[in-house]
Structure 1
Amino acid sequence: MIYLDYQATTPVAPEVVQATRPWAENHFANPHSPSRWGREAAAAIEVARDRVENAICLPGGSVAFTGSATEAINWALKGTIERAKGRNRIVTIATEHAAVLDSCEWLEAQGCDIIRLPVAPDGLVDLGDVKAALDERVGIVAAMLVNNEIGVIQPVAEIAEAAHEVGAFMLCDAVQGLGRVTIPLGPDLIAVSAHKIHGPKAIGALWMRQGAEPAPLIHGGGQEQGLRSGTLSPALCVGFGMAAKLAAERGRQDHDHIELLWQAAMAALGPDWIVNGSSDQRYHGNFNLRREGLDAARLISDLRDIAFSLGSACASGSGRPSHVLRALGLSDTQARSSIRLGFGRYTTEDELVDAVTRIDAAARAQQDIAA
């Protein structure tokens, strides 16, 4: 199996497995217990918290662990609006992850005003559109740093600055950005996930600038800073912390490896493929491509030993064309002729070139049969 689905999830790093095992097997105490074992678990979680905060690398804020980045996004949006004191307008972008768009849809049903900004054919939002949508009614602006489907990098720092000018908060979904690109100064709230950086699933985090903490979404014991309730898993927190530590330490090495893979994939592709989204302002480990006349679903079926996708794993079973690709102006047919190749730390150049060459050959075979 050649694994090219890094945007859906990443392989768990061996160091993460090693760090997690003792906390899953023997150190099972509740970290919120006053016992010695409980205090040891709590101390391990604080080390993990420091490592995640260090990987985010922004001043003036702290991390609260959550069950997922989806939870963190729901909490950020709904909790901020709850505390916004009459500011019930949200500005976001049409290409955001479903966690943002569906939360906004729910809030819209509760009486919020939602502005969903379009993007250009390259996938980037126009800053003029952002500024035109902002006024004193806006409570929060939500923008993804690296798009999960097409990899384009939005101007998050500039969006945050514009939001602050009207007194609004800014949420950045940095799930696909953490460990891959620098998280810029500006956001008040940042959602991240462990399993996108070679950590375990079922744990995420919300970074909160001091003074921008949202109202609680989950009520109970208030274990996380009195803001998020629920017993934390030491194993998952330690795993996230180790993954974050590796991401911070290996940032340059991983970046250089991705650039090498991107160039190799570009060279191996035939001339009939088109890159969806900006080729320049993007993370190069996300390769979203289309080919006229391609049946992308059939291509996946034909190449079962290569793991790649049609787009977001969250929406892959819906049967609907990607909302991100449609926002670029692509037709339903073009969207269904698109594939996403995601590669990273553990992808080798040889296996990527082999996979891309076979994908191209299978696509050409489809066209030959159709002709």
Structure 2
Amino acid sequence: MHEHPIYLDHNATAPLLPEVVDAMVPYLREHFGNPSSAHVYGRQAKAAVDQARARVAVLLGAAAEELFFVAHGTEANNLAIRGVLAALPEKRHVVTCVTEHPATTEPCRQREKQGGQVTWLPVDGEGRIRVSEAVAALRSDTALVTLMHANNETGVLQPIAEVAREARARGVLLHTDAAQSVGKLPVSVEGLGVDLLTVVGHKFGAPKGVGALYVRKGTPVRPVLLGAGHERGLRPGTENVASIVGLGVACEVALRTVETEAARVRGLRDELWERLRARVPGLALNGHPVERLPNTLNVRFPGVSGSALLTATPEVAASTGSACHAGEESASSIITAMGVEPSAALGSVRLSLGRMTTQPDVVAAAEALAAAWKRLARG
């Protein structure tokens, strides 16, 4: 086991930015107040939360009062989906996609169990929905379309703006889970045309345990949790001040650097792909060659399982999309939804780069993965 393997799992979580740590420390020590308290300690905490909210809003091109802090992306997605459905009880239909994260699919399945209806859009061979099929699924009783902006396994970007435009013309709300895209790409709520959008801090340098939900002014949504009137009554519970401060700083850093960092990481990702492809005959790309996150490379290694390959490559910390139950490995449903045979899909590995990734890392990772593949392929 290598003590410090090359970290290529940034879609799982990103390391904390140094600026984020520095900003958080005072709120873990001396600034300990409850933002709901009227005294000076509470006012200090509230001012920090307000500043962070403004920073998140600026990154997204939103108004500060349209941002609500939550604990994580799962909560944000549940609040968006279940909150809208609770606010629109007369509308019982939802449109989503077969490759969504469980934080979206599970609330949608719950809706089906409760007697509602869900249209599950398929994806094409490159992992994207067809706008025409999304539009055809819209009905008079459709409450919400919920589609992730970027897939967590393949990085594939969905045509959110096109679907949102058609949904809005029909009076249907659209939520996008932007957990993987915010901080990695420029993301604008107006550019996408969405009504609700999920932000997750730990995907771009903020701590785990904090996120945000953008709710366009006037969007009907009810709280999922019941309690006091925190977050203007939509999300009760005392705010996680230090982590919220960290999220705000991560957004401020992203605002300054997201375009240049995306270009840098895209170049490294493409170099990694070319180096692997030159050494591994039959290597295949999972997902769209262009419409995907700049940091994400999901590839299928022929003749081996992805988990076995990563076990044989301790120099690299990455992940597969497969699941292992009772000792039996199963292929990722994201990859098989694109029409890839399960036996081939088992060879998939997700390599996701980030701010800490360097060009020597890419060279070393490609060499290590290719060498491990050759050893395994020889049997």
Range of TM-score over shorter length: over 0.9
TM-score, normalised via structure 2 length: 0.94
State the AA in 2 paired with 1:346.
Answer: M
Paired residues for 1:12-27 under 5 Å: 12-27=16-31
Which among 74, 79, 84 is matched to residue 80 of structure 1? 84
1-structure distance, mates of 2:209, 2:83 = 21
Q: Which residue of 1 aligns with 2:119?
A: 115
Q: Which residue of 1 aligns with 2:170?
A: 166
Which among 99, 103, 107 is matched to residue 103 of structure 1? 107
Residue segments in structure 1 that go unaligned for 5+ positions in a row: none
Matched, 1:359 2:369: yes
Q: Which residue of 1 aligns with 2:196?
A: 189
Deviation sequence 1:129-155 (CA, Å, 0-9, x none): 001101111000011111111011111
Contact 2:186–2:259 (8 Å) recurs in 1: no
Q: Which residue of 2 aligns with 1:153?
A: 157
Matched, 1:201 2:208: yes
Paired residues for 1:284-323 under 5 Å: 284-311=294-321, 319-323=329-333
1-structure distance, mates of 2:64, 2:318 = 39
Deviation sequence 1:53-75 (CA, Å, 0-9, x none): 11112469611000101100001
Q: Which residue of 1 aligns with 2:43?
A: 39
Q: Which residue of 2 aligns with 1:221?
A: 228
CA pair 317-61 structure 1, distance change in 2 beyond 3 A? farther
The count of corresponding residues between Structure 1 and Structure 2 is: 367
Which among 139, 145, 170 is matched to residue 141 of structure 1? 145
CA pair 28-320 structure 1, distance change in 2 beyond 3 A? farther
Contact 2:175–2:196 (8 Å) recurs in 1: yes
How far off its partner does 1:266 sit?
Answer: 2.3
| Alpha-carbon RMSD | 1.6
Q: Which residue of 1 aligns with 2:354?
A: 344
State the AA in 2 paired with 1:355.
Answer: A
Q: Which residue of 2 aligns with 1:237?
A: 244
How far off its partner does 1:263 sit?
Answer: 2.7
Matched, 1:64 2:68: yes
Which among 11, 14, 32 is matched to residue 15 of structure 2? 11
SS in 1 for 2:373: helix
Matched, 1:258 2:265: yes
Contact 1:61–1:209 (8 Å) recurs in 2: no
Deviation sequence 1:290-323 (CA, Å, 0-9, x none): 02211211112112231100028xx677954211
2-structure distance, mates of 1:243, 1:94 = 31
Q: Which residue of 1 aligns with 2:33?
A: 29
How far off its partner does 1:261 sit?
Answer: 0.5
Residue segments in structure 2 that go unaligned for 5+ positions in a row: none
1-structure distance, mates of 2:18, 2:308 = 34
1-structure distance, mates of 2:324, 2:37 = 41
2-structure distance, mates of 1:101, 1:37 = 41
Contact 2:304–2:347 (8 Å) recurs in 1: yes
State the AA in 2 paired with 1:201.
Answer: K
Identical pairs, percent: 35
2-structure distance, mates of 1:60, 1:42 = 14
Contact 2:79–2:224 (8 Å) recurs in 1: yes
CA pair 316-65 structure 1, distance change in 2 beyond 3 A? farther
